Amino acid sequence: MFTFVIPAHNEQASIATIVGQAIAAAQPGDRVLVVDSASTDATAHHAAAAGAEVLPGPRGKGAAMAVAIANITTPWVCFLDADLISSQTNVPAALRQAAASGTADHILGDYEYADPGTILASTFTIYQPLVAEFFPEVGHLGANSLSGYRAIRRRYLDRPLPAHFGVEAHLNISIAMAGGTAAVRHLGVIGSRFKYKPDMCREIACSILDLATAHHRLHPDHRPSWQAWIDQGAAAISQITATSGRSTSLARLFAAARRPMPARTHHTGDTQQQATASPPPQSTDHPIPSDGQTRTHPSQPHEAERV
């Protein structure tokens, strides 16, 4: 059985679309649950009218997801984005089928953007270099490795989540570190309502560095130098505007992604070993089949998330 979870903040214009897909995908025993994340519009009303259960929740994507998890006992949880406008397939049905028919613990929904000008700035400038450096065992999880569309076995969701938009990075790493396996399910082309989130890249980085420290892969004394590296990347992302031009934007972001990283110390117990961080991996195209097979390729930069 599955619970489809849709965290939503001020999504009254679109919430009924994804709720309708989830209800169509639901099988006996499944639930469709919207967490109204401190909305100031009629999101909760429209979600309920479309047929979802609605829970009140705090502001923050991860915080809203945590509210849902605390109220779920089904073996699978399928997280969905509330801003979906259009899709080539029923997204929750595709994720449910991939999870139910395979052996992976974590199914990520990869997709193409309806807007071809979309750039995954935070993903390849911040997320992928940091994960490749600190957590290479996470592997390649599709071009949209920070996708909001994913199905996860409930037993991997008992630990606290970051309250913010770093939650997807946290899940990718924490599930891998707990021994969970991951697979990618391609969802075709998806259209969504874009909302600028200026703090997203910093929240993603915060989640990664927190976990690197917790797993003794980053000594706390070295975190300021990594924060400076992140600040430079965030500055590059902030310079990308609608009038920047795609080629100029990509050149600036790739330059930011390829900056040398700080040296770090592997810290385990009372022993410390100095390591010099390697430059982030160069962009390499990996085919992303739609068969839901587990991915083990190293994480690589891709061109494609809105800034």
**pLDDT of res. 292:** 36
Residuewise pLDDT in 10s, the chain (307 residues): 999 999 999 999 999 999 999 999 999 999 999 999 999 999 999 999 999 999 999 999 999 999 999 999 999 999 999 999 999 999 999 999 999 999 999 999 999 999 888 888 999 899 999 999 999 999 999 999 999 999 999 999 999 999 999 999 999 999 999 999 999 999 999 999 876 677 899 999 999 999 999 999 999 999 999 999 999 999 999 888 777 788 888 898 889 988 999 987 554 443 445 454 545 444 333 333 333 333 333 333 333 343 3
Q: How many distinct helices (H) and strands (E) make up the chain?
A: 10, 10
**pLDDT of res. 275:** 52
**pLDDT of res. 196:** 66
What backbone torsions phi and psi does residue 3 show, to the nearest 5 degrees?
-115, 125
Closest CA to 298 of 145, 180, 121: 145
Closest CA to 197 of 175, 226, 172, 168: 168
**pLDDT of res. 89:** 97
What backbone torsions phi and psi does residue 154 show, to the nearest 5 degrees?
-55, -30
**pLDDT of res. 188:** 96
DSSP state of 294: B
Phi-psi region of 37 (alpha: psi -120 to 50; beta: other; left: phi over 0): beta
**pLDDT of res. 248:** 87
Contacts (Cβ under 8 Å, ≥6 apart) of 45: 12
With b for 16 or more beta-carbon neighbours within 10 A and e for fewer, the 204-231 pattern comes to: bbbbbbbbbbeeebbeeebbeebeebbe
DSSP state of 73: -
Judge whether 126 and 230 are in contact, CB under 8 Å: yes
**pLDDT of res. 261:** 94
Separation between Cα atoms, residue 191 and residue 189, nearest integer Å: 7
Q: Beta strands 150-153 and 53-57: pairing type?
A: unpaired
Contacts (Cβ under 8 Å, ≥6 apart) of 68: 3, 5, 7, 33, 35, 55, 57, 77
pTM for this structure?
Answer: 0.86
